[in-house]
Amino acid sequence: MLSRVLVPMDGSTLSERALTYALENHPDASVTVMTVVGEPSVMMGDAVGLAFEDDLETAATDRAEPIFDRAREIAADHDAEIDTVVAVGRPARAIVTRADEYDAVVIGSHGGDVVDRLFVGNVAETVFERSPVPVTVVR
């Protein structure tokens, strides 16, 4: 039986399904929702704004809050509580680094991008291959 489950969420429908799966299949586990905000760089679209923030941690938390709000709604629908954590960096690397603190990772197979829908997403695949704990990929 699992006691600690990590569920990375990116705001996609499949990440919401992953959280639902974790809550339904591991009702006694402590579930932590993790959102990874891209590391600031002048080449990284949405994350570029982080490069100009005075307080990176606060800015990352602000960007993660809408995802956490949705995660709390899903948890409430299952009469459950969740913990949340924000990381900054490359999603797959951040998830794998944090994974050893948990018994398992439950992750959506891909984000919302049209190209990602054709195959298991790069983040999910990397987490599956490199995680130190079992990974369930939800489609």
The more confident residue out of 53 and 64 is 64
Phi, psi of 110 (to 5 degrees): -165, 165
Global pTM? 0.87
The more confident residue out of 47 and 126 is 126
CA-to-CA distance for 73 and 81, rounded, in angstroms? 10
CA atoms within 13 A on the CB side of 71: 28
Is the pLDDT at 14 greater than 60? The verdict is: yes
Q: What is the pLDDT of residue 110?
A: 74
Q: Where are the domains of the chain?
A: 4-138
Alpha carbon 73 to its chain centroid, in Å, reads 16
Q: What is the pLDDT of residue 95?
A: 97
Instruction: Give the largest Cα separation in the chain, rounded.
Output: 44
3-state secondary structure of 58: helix
Instruction: Read off the pLDDT of residues 64-123 as tens digits, 9 standing for 90 and up.
Output: 999 999 999 999 999 999 999 999 988 999 999 999 999 999 999 976 554 444 444 689
Amino acid found at 3: S
CATH number of 4-138: 3.40.50.620
CA-to-CA distance for 52 and 75, rounded, in angstroms? 34
